[in-house]
Amino acid sequence: MSEPKVSVFITVYNEAELVGRAVRSLLSQTLRNIEVLVVDDGSDDGTAKAVANIHDSRLRLIRRTRMGRAAALAYACTQARGCYLANLDADDTAYPQRLERQAAFLDAHPHHAWVGCAEDREDSQRNEVFSRIYPLDDVDIRRMAAKCIPYCHSAVMFRRSLLDEGLNYDPDQSFLIDFEFFLRVAARHKVANVPDPLVKRYVRNESYFQSRFGTARQNRRLALLCARAVSAFRLPPHYYVYPAARLIYPWLPNVFKRRVRSGQGLIESYE
């Protein structure tokens, strides 16, 4: 097989009921010159069988003993063959034009190394269904990184050439793995988001990440990474207020959280 334009990877642990939906959403993309790489990170619930039952020459399943999400993401990148690499979480779905739109953006913007997009989100933790548009240009994304994660991980695409620079997911990170990786990428390269929602994200208490890492712990780690963004991107000193404010954010009622997100530049529309 010739080199695919895009390699999109799914790292998965015990998501037998949902991973097939994610894979099929990728195999239905308008961009046909792709490979879908599924790294089964030691699942014992039938995940591998669910993937193996999908027959498409563009699909590759790699089964590994349990190594953890960060190591699985880093490994997936080393196994991918495409010019561009993209992530999709095993419980999310991609809309048909996602890969075509993002690959076209990177083709047209050679100085950008990373592109995300808006997302549709179904959040069972907060009983919310909404669409979110992240900041679009490099300057605004860097500023937003001091406040929150300025992209959706299930919606990112980046150049494989980053690996040649020694940039990859850090296998030693326990969580917020992608944000730590993003900060290192954005320290060297331009980044962007496209304004249209090209993925559907599902936030569930049942997911491995949500069940293992509590909200308070997530926000403490996020505050540290947001502070790192202020330093790495040489933002004004007053931006350190935002990481500090993250420590009280989890305790706000949802209606106030919406107002905070809106006030800081996240555009959200609710059903």
Determine whether 255 is exposed, middle or buried from the number of CB atoms within 10 Å of its CB (0-12, 13-18, 19+). Answer: exposed
Q: What pLDDT sits at residue 207?
A: 55
Instruction: Give the number of other CB atoms < 10 A from CB of residue 248.
Output: 9
Tell how strand 112-123 and strand 128-133 pair up.
Answer: antiparallel
Give the mean pLDDT of the chain. 94
Q: Report yes or no: 87 and 74 within 8 Å, Cβ to Cβ.
A: no
Q: What pLDDT sits at residue 15?
A: 96
Q: Report yes or no: 23 and 38 within 8 Å, Cβ to Cβ.
A: yes
Q: What pLDDT sits at residue 249?
A: 86
Q: Which CATH class is domain 6-270?
A: alpha beta
pLDDT > 60? residue 181: yes
User: Can you give the pTM of this predicted structure?
Assistant: 0.94
pLDDT > 60? residue 223: yes
User: Using one digit for the tens of pLDDT, what is the confidence trace for 92-144?
Assistant: 999 999 999 999 999 999 999 999 999 999 988 778 899 999 999 999 999 99
Q: What pLDDT sits at residue 1?
A: 55
Determine whether 237 is exposed, middle or buried from the number of CB atoms within 10 Å of its CB (0-12, 13-18, 19+). Answer: exposed
pLDDT > 90? residue 213: no
- Domain-wise residue ranges, the chain: 6-270
d(CA 138, CA 119): 18
* Average pLDDT of the segment spanning 73-100: 98
* Average pLDDT of the segment spanning 163-188: 97
User: Using one digit for the tens of pLDDT, what is the confidence trace for 19-70?
Assistant: 999 999 999 999 999 999 999 999 999 999 999 999 999 999 999 999 999 9
Q: What pLDDT sits at residue 271?
A: 76
User: Using one digit for the tens of pLDDT, what is the confidence trace for 57-70?
Assistant: 999 999 999 999 99
pLDDT > 70? residue 214: no
